[in-house]
């Protein structure tokens, strides 16, 4: 009996090792493809937030990497610059909401030179389907409520869900998620307010996949 159990245990051990190896091989074989797909999706979002009619420069190459900052999250982020005839039009900033219900929520926020949000989009999240996933434009138009909104110390109180006295709707049964996104968009506005001149004038230094991509044909 003991010998039989030992044999089955060995078989299960080998099976587990084989499965782990297959998962690892699959991950390494597909990670570049997945990363490229994410970049293509992001490029589409950039052109949605600041349409081609509003700028004449390629957003995917006019880009800088900024160092980690508590206002944008714990990692370096990219900032894309929109210009028209050499004049600054808008910044599109990658940012992270670290306090989502199910973990980090990755966003991009477009802000014009008057410190007004042109639009915000969630590009990656793990929020609960049917509840927190309403931050995703494919599920709900809630994220459009940031368009045209600005921030100042005088309007600080508005940057909350209505349940807390602010101007943004919450989700039934999922207040944590919209709170996290609202706070991330607000913090992005604060960051841009502090660094706007530098963000527009710094030399482009994004050398990743997106810098080598061409916009998709319409």
Residue 176 CB partners (closer than 8 Å, separation 6+): 99, 100, 101, 132
- Residue 70 CA to residue 174 CA, distance in Å, equals 24
Compute and round to an integer the Cα radius of gyration of the chain: 21
Alpha-helix runs per DSSP H in the chain? 2-49, 176-201
What is the SS3 assignment for 131-182?
CHHHHCCCCCCHHHHHCCCECCHHHHHHCCEHHHCCCECCECCECHHHHHHH
> What length does the chain have?
218
pLDDT of residue 27: 40
**With 0-12 CB in 10 A as exposed, 13-18 as middle and 19+ as buried, what is 88?**
middle
Alpha carbons within 13 angstroms on the beta-carbon side of residue 135 total 32
pTM for the model? 0.80
142 and 169 Cβ atoms separated by less than 8 Å: yes
Residue 138 CB partners (closer than 8 Å, separation 6+): none
Q: Cα 107 from chain centroid?
A: 2
55 and 89 Cβ atoms separated by less than 8 Å: yes
How many Cβ atoms sit within 10 Å of the Cβ of residue 45? 18
Judged by DSSP in three states, 97 sits in strand
Going residue by residue through the chain, which has 218 residues, state the pLDDT in tens, using 9 for 90 and above: 555 555 555 565 566 565 454 544 544 544 445 445 566 778 889 999 999 999 999 998 999 999 999 999 999 999 999 999 999 999 999 999 999 999 999 999 999 999 999 999 999 999 999 999 999 999 999 999 999 999 999 999 999 999 999 999 999 889 999 999 999 999 999 999 999 999 999 999 987 555 444 444 43
- Residue 18 CA to residue 81 CA, distance in Å, equals 47
């Amino acid at each position: 009996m003991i010998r039989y159990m030992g044999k089955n245990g060995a078989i299960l051990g080998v099976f587990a090792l084989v499965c782990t190896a297959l998962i690892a091989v699959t991950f390494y074989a597909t990670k570049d493809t997945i990363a490229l797909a994410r970049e293509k999706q992001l490029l589409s979002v950039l052109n949605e937030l600041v349409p081609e009619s509003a700028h004449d420069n390629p957003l995917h190459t006019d880009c800088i990497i900024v160092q980690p900052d508590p206002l944008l999250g714990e990692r370096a982020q990219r900032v894309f610059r929109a210009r028209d005839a050499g004049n600054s039009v808008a910044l599109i900033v990658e940012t992270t909401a670290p306090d989502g219900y199910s973990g980090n929520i990755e966003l991009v926020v477009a802000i014009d030179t008057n410190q007004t949000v042109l639009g915000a989009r969630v590009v990656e999240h793990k929020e609960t389907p049917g509840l927190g996933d309403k931050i995703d434009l494919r599920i709900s138009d809630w994220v459009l409520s940031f368009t045209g909104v600005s921030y100042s110390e005088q309007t600080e109180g508005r940057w909350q869900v209505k349940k807390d006295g602010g101007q943004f709707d919450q989700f039934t049964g999922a207040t944590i998620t919209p709170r996290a996104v609202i706070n991330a968009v607000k913090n992005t506005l604060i960051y841009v307010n502090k660094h706007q001149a530098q963000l527009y004038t710094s030399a482009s230094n994004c050398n990743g996949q997106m810098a080598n991509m061409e916009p998709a044909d319409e």
